[in-house]
Amino acid sequence: MAGLGKFLVRRALTFIPTLIGVTLIVFIIAYVIPANPVRAWAGGEKASQAAIEMIKKEYHLDQPWYDQYLFLVKGLFTNSLLDPLNQEPVFTNIGNRFIVTFQLALFAFFFVVLIGLPLGIISALKRNSATDMVLRIIALIFISTPIYVIAYLFIWLFFIHWNATTLAGIPPNPPHQITHVPVVDDILTLNWSNLVQQVKRFWLPGFTLGIAAAGVLMRFTRNSFLEAYSRDSTLFLKAKGVPKSRLYRHVLKNALVPVITILALQFGGLLAGTPITETVFNLPGIGRYALQAIMYLDFPALIGVTFLYAIVFVTANLVADILYAIIDPRVRF
């Protein structure tokens, strides 16, 4: 296991330059902003010159670029960057909304695994048959359909026709917060009525968000299974006369190794893919926060969200790598 520890340290060290790079890019985005947003923050056309000067000073906008960069980095890492619209630290604002996004991604992930894995395995088991052909085309359609189209189709079907979901508001948080994710807390505290409300609100956005990822997972599982099936070990098992069900169990075990790592990546992707879903389904998550920030020229908020997304994404990559290293020792060297 020494190899694993060394690998983890080495892999974690690459995290640092990436993080610095991320702050650099975020700073460039902030620096590129042409329209001076200070006047808008100070209250529009009628803002007094004194107020504008004060805000400029507060955000170091009158300083040279390296000073602005240091101010930004300090703000991002100590959560002292204030959202000019409500004077709260940016990450405090984001924190409340991140729970919604996280829960949405959780629901989506559930559907991804529920749809993608079994269909991918069926497709591989019945390879080159009519079933396989149909499933492959379904996967391609899943991948090709944008969220903003399929979302309206689903709203029409499930909300307007069958009324199987709610589309407004957010169900209350459970009284006892353990993990701070409402669905998980509801299950842990056996708060069934609240759980039903949460599921009713979140299942359709999650399903919509997960469709494309489910298509990707289907294709990936199929290829992974076929790759594992074509190995010499399979030939050996066949020659030995192992029954088909046991043979497939062996193949499946090998095939799932890369699938598990791709699942970690997909969870990161789902978290990052929420802006459109949140807009369509009116969920107050961080994707919507970013879009609102753009609308109100609230660039500290935009920077904070972008930074957070990058961190989440990089962490997902890291987790995928670590999972892979744990499952497959060859990667560590």
Q: With CB under 8 A, what is the number of residues at the site for another protein? A: 48
Residue type, 205: P
Binding of another protein by 156 (CB under 8 A): yes
Q: Which is nearer to another protein, 70 or 133 (CB)?
A: 133
24-32, Cβ contacts within 8 angstroms, sequence gap of 24 or more: 24/69, 26/72, 26/76, 26/303, 26/306, 26/307, 26/310, 27/68, 27/69, 27/72, 27/73, 29/302, 29/303, 29/306, 30/68, 30/72, 30/299, 30/303, 31/65, 31/68
Q: By C-beta, is 146 or 172 nearer to another protein?
A: 146
Residues 184-213 that bind another protein (CB under 8 A): none
Answer yes or no whether residue 145 interacts with another protein by CB under 8 A: yes
Site for another protein in 26-45 (CB under 8 A): 29-30, 32-35
Q: How far is CA 164 from CA 110, 156, 158, 219, 307, in A?
A: 18, 11, 5, 30, 36
For residues 38 and 56, is the Cβ–Cβ distance under 8 A?
A: yes
Quick note: the x/- pattern for another protein over 279-298, rule CB under 8 A, is xx---------xx--xx---
> Between residue 253 and residue 272, which ones bind another protein under the rule CB under 8 A?
268-269, 272
Name the DSSP letter for residue 48.
-
| 127, two tokens | 């390879």
Between 171 and 269, whose beta carbon lies closer to another protein?
A: 269
Q: Which of 12, 114, 140, 164 lies at the binding interface for another protein (CB under 8 A)?
A: 140
Q: What residues numbered 302-331 form the site for another protein, per CB under 8 A?
A: 302, 305-306, 309-310, 313-314
Please say whether the beta carbons of 25 and 313 come within 8 A: no
- Interface residues with another protein (CB under 8 A) are 14, 17-18, 21-22, 24-25, 29-30, 32-35, 137, 140-141, 143-149, 152-153, 155-156, 160, 268-269, 272-273, 275-276, 279-280, 290-291, 294-295, 299, 302, 305-306, 309-310, 313-314
